[in-house]
Amino acid sequence: MSRRIQVGDEGGIRRPSLQRLPTYYRRLLEAIEEGNLIVSSAELGSTTGVPAAQVRKDLSFLSETGTPGVGYDVRSLATRLEEYLGLTTDKEAALVGVGNLGRALISYPGFARYGLHILALFDRDPATIGQIINGCPVLPVDQLSTVARHLGVRLGIITVPAGAAQDVAALMVQGGIRAIWNFAPVRLVVPDSVWVQYEDIAARLALLSHHMRRTQMVDADSRRL
Amino acid sequence: MSRRIQVGDEGGIRRPSLQRLPTYYRRLLEAIEEGNLIVSSAELGSTTGVPAAQVRKDLSFLSETGTPGVGYDVRSLATRLEEYLGLTTDKEAALVGVGNLGRALISYPGFARYGLHILALFDRDPATIGQIINGCPVLPVDQLSTVARHLGVRLGIITVPAGAAQDVAALMVQGGIRAIWNFAPVRLVVPDSVWVQYEDIAARLALLSHHMRRTQMVDADSRRL
DNA sequence: TAGATTGTTAATCGATTAACAATC
DNA sequence: TAGATTGTTAATCGATTAACAATC
């Protein structure tokens, strides 16, 4: 009800196409390192597991185009993708939950290349508060909304246990955060104006689990290849 | 070429449906905790963001059915999902790369409930080798294929940096591993008989990034709601 | 020019949704 | 019984793919 956002309709590009773009981007970075100047849709497809026609369709949503008979210019396509995906836009973030997963994200190499800058860390454990990680001190979580607002942070990253996630989300909303990257296995309740992207690793494990069970059945029939 | 596996065709259930099942499962666990005995497709849908008709369609792939006029039995549906997703099947795993992400997975609560048991840890850093985490010693990575084979482990988890992932994958294949859960941002080259599930967190960040860029544009037009 | 590869159209394929008879 | 909710069919909607004229 009331101002339903047409998600499938946004900006012309389709969700499945959008989801493939980061893969193309990574492949282009590799191509740059290898010194390739031109890449064809066939090559881009074979290295990312996508049919060539689909690659071309996906890329047609970007205004940057290829050259018939030649292919795509690696560098300018990479640049166009960075722009389109907003990787060149700096994204300041606050991260809550400085456990192993939180630390992993804080020190993830390559996040900087994607424009992510984690400016503030929060935890509720007194033993963790005050620690300095990657030059960033861990603050008590009750300062979250104040500090987030003060820094003008728009993105919040949740790496706390499931039970604490909803409370953290509420504090983030209070702190003016507009997008949440949620690694806790819970569905969050937030205003419509706040975007939540879920990273549900247990759900992924369930998928893997399903596949293994099915495969094992195959094994029973044809053991050893 | 040669033995192309019909992925979309496997076992009747469709990929999109399959991907929604873990979400339903989690909701059912919550319902059990709340003491609910019966759940309707409408309720299951509203708490997971899926239209009721789609919930019913998805569940129709399971042989367990609901009762017209009543709904689904929470406990038996949960049990059916556990079975279908293979969560009750024990999945022994070897994990390579005992950095922050690796440690996060090792100590992830709830993995045990999904039937995942990480039996062996490997790293190449001498300072990490020999450490004992969750009762499990970290072994040198060159023992990977031998130990994996000895333990009969079928699943490998890769949490090493991108540059090392392909080598690790090769060792896993050599050790008889049949499924790989890959957290390194690289496409792995493995035999067809080995299944790889990719967990590409940077790609996810790119999607989030894209969304933030688009939203900011909206902000420029209509500031403050 | 001949060969290669694009962008795009039209055909196919698959997924979602609405609607409703069947059932408790 | 009346009300509720399922399972499933048919209609709609969207995504993928094949094919090819246009172009370098």
What pLDDT, in 10s, does the model give residues A25-68?
A: 999 999 999 999 999 999 999 999 999 999 999 999 998 789 99
Q: Distance between CA B193 and CA A72 in Å, rounded?
A: 34
Residue of chain B with shortest Cα separation from A194 = B215
Query: What are φ and ψ of residue B32, in 5° steps?
Result: -60, -45
What is the chain B residue with the closest CA to A105?
A: B101
What's the pLDDT score for residue B9? 41
pLDDT tens digits, one per residue of B55-70: 999 999 998 789 999 9
Dihedral Cα A108, B117, A197, B45, nearest 10 deg:
180
Secondary structure letter of residue B7 according to DSSP: G
List the one residue out of B176, B177, B158 whose CA is nearest residue B168.
Answer: B158
Closest Cα in chain B, distance from residue A180 (Å): 9
Positive or negative, the CA dihedral B82, B88, B89, B90 is positive
Beta-ladder partners of B117: B92
Q: Are strands A155-158 and A132-133 parallel, antiparallel or unpaired?
A: unpaired
Per-residue model confidence (pLDDT) at position A12: 82
Q: What is the mean pLDDT of residues A184-206?
A: 95
Between residues 100 and 159 of chain A, which touch chain B (CB distance below 8 Å)?
Answer: 100-101, 103-105, 107-111, 114-116, 154-155
A11 — pLDDT class (breaks 50, 70, 90)? low
Residue type, B53: A
Mean pLDDT of chain A: 91
> What is the number of other CB atoms lying within 10 angstroms of the CB of residue A37?
10
Predicted local distance difference test score (pLDDT) of residue A64: 77
The answer to whether B199 contacts A200, with C-beta atoms less than 8 Å apart, is: no
Structural contact between residues B184 and B159, judged by C-beta atoms closer than 8 angstroms: yes
pLDDT per residue, tens digit, chain B (225 aa), is 322 333 334 468 999 999 999 999 999 999 999 999 999 999 999 999 999 999 999 999 998 789 999 999 999 999 999 999 999 999 999 999 999 999 999 999 889 999 999 999 999 999 999 999 999 999 999 999 999 999 999 999 999 999 999 999 999 999 999 999 999 999 999 999 999 999 999 999 999 999 999 987 334 333 333
Which chain A residues contact residue B22 at CB under 8 A? 200, 202-203, 206-207
Residue in A10, A91, A212 nearest the CB of B179 = A212
